Amino acid sequence: MVFFYFPLLQYSAVLKYSCMPHVSRNKLDKETLRSLHDRFIELLAGTTHQGDLNDILSDLLTKTERIMIAKRLAIVVMLYKGYPFGIISRTLKVSEATISVMKDRMDRGGGGFEKAVVLLEKDRKLEMLFAKLDRIIRLFALPPIAGKGRWRFLHHE
């Protein structure tokens, strides 16, 4: 029994440390951490070209972290637009627990999510993306009318 149990522990330890982000046990003092945080925010705010920002974030974050951040932002925007959890979950391929956590953070937050939504809604490309998402989401719901032409909304721009 021990023979089988030990490899499982090793395997789970490998998974834990190779797939999941983790913070070092060696903690920084608050002043140093605050200074690093401020420099990071200044770097992001001071980057005026989207290509430069993309390069910085691509090198700094893993693909998984970039996807996670993008999905979190999409969850927040969809929650602000009033989409139900089930639709968000199916559209973004996230669990309802993840959506619930983001909703909780929105409810307890200091207005950062609202500022992000306002900035994102100014972007015409995002508006077009959500128009496409709305068309996809309608596929999950029943057609608005019965009979001939009930799927016409899919072809109407």
Domain of 91, CATH number, reads 1.10.1270.10
Please enumerate in sequence order all residues whose Cβ is within 8 A of that of 69, keeping only pairs 6 or more positions apart, or say none: 61
Identify whether 34 is part of a domain.
Answer: no
Q: How confident is the model at residue 1 (pLDDT cuts 50, 70, 90)?
A: very low
pLDDT at 49 over 80: yes
Identify whether 40 is part of a domain.
Answer: no
Identify whether 27 is part of a domain.
Answer: no
pLDDT at 157: 52
Identify whether 111 is part of a domain.
Answer: yes
Q: Which two tokens stand for residue 140?
A: 């999950």
What is the rounded average pLDDT for all residues in the chain?
Answer: 77
pTM: predicted TM-score of the whole model, two decimal places: 0.65
Identify whether 92 is part of a domain.
Answer: yes
State the residue range of the domain holding 128.
48-145+152-157
Across the range 47-53, mean pLDDT stands at 86
Identify whether 118 is part of a domain.
Answer: yes
Domain total in the chain: 1
pLDDT at 6 over 70: no
Q: How confident is the model at residue 42 (pLDDT cuts 50, 70, 90)?
A: very high
* Residue among 48, 47, 73, 71 nearest 60 (CA): 47
DSSP state of 95: -
pLDDT at 12: 41
- What residue has token string 């409810």? 107
**Residue 123 belongs to what H/E stretch?**
none
Q: Which two tokens stand for residue 97?
A: 């627990």
- What residue has token string 């149990």? 5
Angle at alpha carbon of residue 15, lines to 12 and 20, rounded to 5°: 130
Helices 112-121 and 63-80: angle between axes, nearest 10 degrees: 90
For CA atoms 31, 61, 105, 123, the dihedral sign is: positive
Identify whether 56 is part of a domain.
Answer: yes
Identify whether 139 is part of a domain.
Answer: yes
